[in-house]
Amino acid sequence: MLKGIAASQGIAIAKVYKLEQPVLNIQKEDADPDKELAALDAAFKKTVADIEKIKEVASKSLKAEELAIFDAHLTMANDPEFRNMIEEEIRNNKENAAFAAKTVSDQMVGMFEAMEDEYMRGRAADIRDVSFRLMCNLTGLEIPNLATLDKEVIVVAKDLTPSDTGSLNKEYAKGFATEVGGRTSHSAIMARSLEIPAVVGVKGIMDTVKTGDLVILDAINGEVITSPTDAQVEEYKAKAEAFRKEKEALKALKDQPSVSTDGHKVLLVGNIGSPADVEGVLNNGGEGVGLFRTEFLYMKSEDDFPDEDTQFAAYKQVLEGMNGRPVVIRTLDIGGDKKLKYYTFPEEMNPFLGVRAIRFCLQRKDIFRTQLRALLRASVYGHLCIMFPMIATVAEFKEAKGIYDEERAKLIAEGVKVGEDVEVGCMIEIPAAAVLADQLSKYADFFSIGTNDLIQYSMAADRMSQAVSYLYQPLNPSILREVKMTIDGAHKHGRWCGMCGEMAGDELAAPVLLGLGLDEFSMSATSILKARKIINGLNYEEMKKLADQALEMDTMDEVKALVEKTLK
């Protein structure tokens, strides 16, 4: 059995289809530039046609949002600068087009991979993908095409490129396992979106299996069982059936309220990154949006901060889509690891402790004001809650709220309609804010706890570092005490308290959070129904006692054991 990371839940049993890219062996050769330029032209045309064809197949199973990757590839394949650079190499060195393409591609990939910015580093994969296709077309090599699968298989690959996942035919690709990748890699995100079971980061799988081998993909526990016995196959068939039934049964909860057995109601809502994600929240029974990470709007923009009208259109679309349900939109959380193509952040030793989120907005009030105006204008289209990220002090919150009040007054004076019931809240993701929550709640209409950062800052453990990832301990009593302080602080002044970090969707945390009095749980859309099933089976009064016990424990493991016993 091989271990990996369960990237998209489910179980599949089928024969392996090993996706091995052709091996390119391109050497420099002397050649006639005219001939090579003509070959390059033909190869570019075929590359564009290939990507368009894959996009067409993919458009049957993927959302417009996910198809954007193919547009990025098409832009690359049509980029005159990329092409000119290769043509130049051919003319200057009188060499074969394939070698010229390789030289330019290697240079560009190296340049993008060396960039600090995670988004820009990600572009290296796009360049590699397009260049590989171009070089195969130049050398006459066939690239295996998953779109032509005609029997049920589990796809095994080193990694799957976006074009691979896009051309997966769900009818035959029952799941996939990759040698590399993590929970947030491209292929993992695509798998969740396609709802295909996937295990990523399975070290050694490429050397262990070959096409035609029977395997069991347990994408619940993150395991690949190679050479299974008949008994194992039967056991997993039963497990797969149970999983399918559970998923089906969960659908019945889609339009149900989220309420404990003794009548305590909470809200289960979704985290989104773009207006296109609203559909997923509604399909999974989300009662609202608890976090719209607006930075994606800024990161997607090519050459400048998105203007007021562009932002207005996006916010309006989300509010209208949610049809009166509450929508929490977070103001710009940029800096740290989130960079922009069109703006250079000053160098800092510790960007995560530097000018990010509200700190940046309070320095660049012009950018902040534009966003607030767009939000206020959109506020008439639904139930808008605005929240400020990374608030550390009461003074910061009051300053941000003051700017909001000014923009609101200006719009009204200009005769622009704004919503009457907009709520303005505060993210609690810095320990100082959690400790002072009972003071902050005098001014903020609500809180939302960002546990991803709250835990990082409380444990002093970089959330991007694998080496200290053991300190990500949502159930450690120290974190639970901060959560309690925040919830109690909100309630002291009659405010509601939500949570939008990963902890909100953690099945083991749910009973404790319910007992601590959390009012709103915001998580990825596909976790909502399972969370509802758990909450609707719990007794609030009993969970209060459970939470009290957990707060007095020494370690995360003790809390885990307590919750596991309770859930049984």
Residue 274 in contact with ligand PEP, rule: CB under 6 A: no
| DSSP annotation of 143 | P
How far CA 41 is from CA of 34, 104, 141, 441, 558, in Å, comes to 11, 16, 17, 64, 65
Encoding tokens for residue 63?
Answer: 């959302």
Please report, as residue ranges, which positions from 453 to 512 form the binding site for Mg ion (by CB under 5 A).
453
Residue 451 in contact with ligand PEP, rule: CB under 6 A: yes
Query: Which residues neighbour 242 within 8 Å (Cβ) at sequence distance 6 or greater?
Result: none
Residue 501 in contact with ligand PEP, rule: CB under 6 A: yes
Specify the DSSP element, H or E, that contains 224. strand 223-226
Nearest distance in Å: CB 295, Mg ion = 10
Catalytic residue among 73, 136, 186, 385: 186
Long-range contacts of 358-366 (CB under 8 A, 24+ apart): 358/331, 358/388, 358/389, 358/390, 358/391, 358/396, 358/400, 359/335, 359/390, 359/396, 360/332, 360/334, 360/335, 361/331, 361/332, 361/388, 361/400, 362/396, 362/399, 362/400, 365/403
Residue 129 DSSP SS3: helix
Helical segments of 168-301, H only: 186-194, 205-208, 230-251, 278-283, 295-300
User: Tokens 């909502």 sit at which residue?
Assistant: 528
> Among 89, 453, 506, 520, which residue sits at the site for ligand PEP (rule: CB under 6 A)?
453
Other CB atoms within 10 A of residue 269 CB: 28
The three state secondary structure string of 353-404 is HCCCHHHHHHHCHHHHHHHHHHHHHHHHHCEEEEEECCCCCHHHHHHHHHHH
Longest dimension (CA), the chain: 82
139 or 452: whose CB is closer to ligand PEP?
452
| DSSP annotation of 347 | P
Nearest distance in Å: CB 219, ligand PEP = 24
> Among 4, 450, 474, 477, which residue sits at the site for Mg ion (rule: CB under 5 A)?
450
Please report, as residue ranges, which positions from 313 to 342 form the binding site for ligand PEP (by CB under 6 A).
333
Q: Which listed range, 14-22, 137-145, 189-197, 450-458, lies at the site for ligand PEP (CB under 6 A)?
A: 450-458
The site partner of 500 among Mg ion, ligand PEP, none (C-beta below 5 to 8 Å per kind) is: ligand PEP
Residue 293 in contact with ligand PEP, rule: CB under 6 A: yes
The site partner of 451 among ligand PEP, Mg ion, none (C-beta below 5 to 8 Å per kind) is: ligand PEP
218 or 295: whose CB is closer to ligand PEP?
295
Q: Which residue is nearest to Mg ion (CB)?
A: 453
> Among 4, 450, 505, 511, which residue sits at the site for ligand PEP (rule: CB under 6 A)?
450
The site partner of 501 among ligand PEP, Mg ion, none (C-beta below 5 to 8 Å per kind) is: ligand PEP
Please report, as residue ranges, which positions from 417 to 446 form the binding site for Mg ion (by CB under 5 A).
429
Nearest distance in Å: CB 188, ligand PEP = 17
Residue 294 in contact with ligand PEP, rule: CB under 6 A: no
Residue 509 in contact with ligand PEP, rule: CB under 6 A: no
Nearest distance in Å: CB 116, Mg ion = 19
Give the number of residues in contact with ligand PEP, rule: CB under 6 A. Answer: 10
Helical segments of 220-307, H only: 230-251, 278-283, 295-300
> Among 317, 452, 478, 524, which residue sits at the site for ligand PEP (rule: CB under 6 A)?
452
500 belongs to the catalytic site = yes
Residue 290 in contact with Mg ion, rule: CB under 5 A: no
Catalytic residue among 361, 426, 497, 500: 500
Contact indicator for 211, 18 with CB cutoff of 8 Å = yes
Q: What does the alpha-carbon distance between residue 321 and residue 37 come to, in Å, rounded to a whole number?
A: 50
429 or 519: whose CB is closer to Mg ion?
429
Backbone angles phi, psi at 182, to 5 degrees: -130, -175
Query: Which positions touch ligand PEP (CB under 6 A)?
Result: 291, 293, 333, 429, 450-453, 500-501
Query: Which positions touch Mg ion (CB under 5 A)?
Result: 429, 450, 453
Q: Return the active site residues.
A: 186, 500
